[in-house]
A and B are shown apart, each in its own frame.
Chain A
Amino acid sequence: MAQYKLVKCTINGKETETMVDVRASLTDMLRNDYRLTSVKKGCEVGECGACNVIIDGECFNSCIYLAIWAEGKKIQTLESLLGPGGELADIQQAFIDEAAVQCGFCTPGFIMTAVQLLETRKEYTREELRKHLAGNLCRCTGYENILNAVEKTMLRRLGKL
């Protein structure tokens, strides 16, 4: 017998609620109930970060996060970055400029990790950036361009580039 629960949370700044199957992952809820398809289903076992979203300021793999745990939480997905006229955020533009996107499947996950990192307003070394991005896998780019995009955006925001 399916078991359902009402889950109220804030998604990309909007207060929302929906009935979810208790067996659903947060990825399932974000994609199926809210059509937030930037949240990708990669491995679905917490290895690749394609489903990465920010919950209350911290990054989580939504594929191994139960939808019911989202109750009362503030969730941010890549869709929140888009400006009112469809403008890209600086970090998104940097991914394009640095050719950090090939197939693009890993990109939303990487960008959300970067968003959280950039919000700390700290300057990280290349090594530290690698450590912070270690939970996101990319099978196309070889990572260098992704690191460049994140590093340049960080330096720009700090007024150092």
Chain B
Amino acid sequence: MYDIKELFEATSVQNAVELRLAHPQALILAGGSDILIQMREGRLAGRELLSIYGLDELRGVTLEEDGTIRIGSLTSFTHVTQDPIVQKYINVLGQAVDMIGGPQIRNIGTIGGNTCNGVTSADSASTLFAWDAMIELTGNEGTRRVPISEFYIKAGVVDVRSDELQTAILIPKESYEGYQGHYIKYAMRNAMDIATSGCSVNVKLSEDKKTIEDVRIAYGVQGPTPLRAVVAEGLGRKKEISLDLIKQISEAVIEDIKPRDSWRASKALRQHIAVEMAHRCLIEAIKLSGGEV
């Protein structure tokens, strides 16, 4: 038995918004693989919960008319990985969320829940940062969209207002068209582990595959929230591909990241792996795009 004070079950998105306003203390419960566990451990014991898990309208991946990829917030990690649209256009996202926990956790865990708990180690987060994802929130006044970089306010805090719930994650066409990406998760074990750090890189090459048109580098656990390595990205744009360039870009990520010492890893180790991960991801993403290194 869980120590739940009171449980409300939303019957539709509209109903969820009403319940949010009526019960401001209630925590939104998606798949529950964070909240229910924290409840069991005592940290969230005795709280009110608002379950949205039954809202099937928030499941699935679709391609909108303008080419935007729409991922319903309650889509499970397994379903993100198996989805043909994800596989075709943003395969690296499916690969990244396939590294979370174990199979059972990937079946219950949702991509919306993974972003809404605001932790920097979320395996989906760095890749969504790399793809310049937009977060769709639905509230009393309808929907609004925020770039994912603004959605994360600080550690554990995301921009969900008191009447809102996250309803979708959107990847605009201009973010993914022509790009290829690669993700590396660095953890102590291959399964059932939280990332010591994660790095997601995507690149777009010129027609002749000799120049980097655009590059995006994102990290988890290199700061209180997931972040982009803007300085390093700037060094790579519109430059001819070479091992030297890749080295330069990777080393520059030190300017962007803000790692700290924790029991999981020291700051020095995190910096070291940040450079190494960027290096390997860049090479992989360039190869996937048909370039040569």
Residue ranges of A at the interface with B (Cβ–Cβ < 8 Å): 3, 21-25, 28, 44-47, 49, 52, 58-61, 64-66, 68-69, 71, 113, 131-132, 134-136
Cross-chain contact A22 with B108 (CB below 8 angstroms)? no
Cross-chain contact A131 with B191 (CB below 8 angstroms)? yes
Contact of B102 among A24, A28, A135 (CB under 8 A): A135
**Residues in chain B near residue A66, CB distance under 8 A:** 2, 7, 32, 36, 51, 53
Using CB atoms, name the residue of chain A closest to B6: A3
**Residues in chain B near residue A24, CB distance under 8 A:** 1-2
With A3-B6, A45-B40 as contacts: A69 and B102 at CB distance below 8 Å: no
Interface size class of B (residues with CB under 8 A): 20 to 34
CA distance A25 to B36 in the complex (A): 10
18 more CB-based (< 8 A) A-B contacts, given A135-B102, A135-B104: A3-B7, A21-B1, A22-B7, A23-B7, A24-B1, A24-B2, A25-B2, A25-B36, A44-B40, A46-B36, A49-B104, A52-B104, A59-B107, A64-B36, A64-B37, A68-B51, A113-B103, A113-B104
CA distance A52 to B105 in the complex (A): 11
Cross-chain contact A23 with B78 (CB below 8 angstroms)? no
Contact of A23 among B1, B32, B101 (CB under 8 A): B1
Contact of B191 among A21, A69, A134 (CB under 8 A): A134
**Residues in chain B near residue A68, CB distance under 8 A:** 7, 9, 51
Using CB atoms, name the residue of chain A closest to B103: A135
Interface residues of B in 189-203 (CB under 8 A from A): 190-192
With A58-B78, A61-B108, A134-B190 as contacts: A23 and B103 at CB distance below 8 Å: no
With A64-B32, A131-B191 as contacts: A23 and B107 at CB distance below 8 Å: no
Contact of A46 among B2, B6, B9, B33 (CB under 8 A): B33
With A3-B6, A60-B107, A66-B32 as contacts: A134 and B102 at CB distance below 8 Å: yes
Q: How far, in Å, is A41 (CB) from chain B's closest CB?
A: 11
CA distance A128 to B48 in the complex (A): 40
Q: Report 23 cross-chain contacts, Cβ distance below 8 Å, ordered by A residue.
A: A3-B7, A22-B4, A24-B1, A25-B1, A46-B36, A46-B104, A47-B192, A59-B103, A59-B104, A60-B108, A64-B37, A65-B32, A65-B108, A66-B2, A66-B32, A66-B36, A66-B51, A68-B51, A69-B53, A134-B102, A134-B191, A135-B104, A135-B192
With A3-B6, A22-B7, A46-B33 as contacts: A28 and B1 at CB distance below 8 Å: yes
**Residues in chain B near residue A131, CB distance under 8 A:** 103, 190-191
Q: How far, in Å, is A42 (CB) from chain B's closest CB?
A: 12
CA distance A24 to B41 in the complex (A): 16
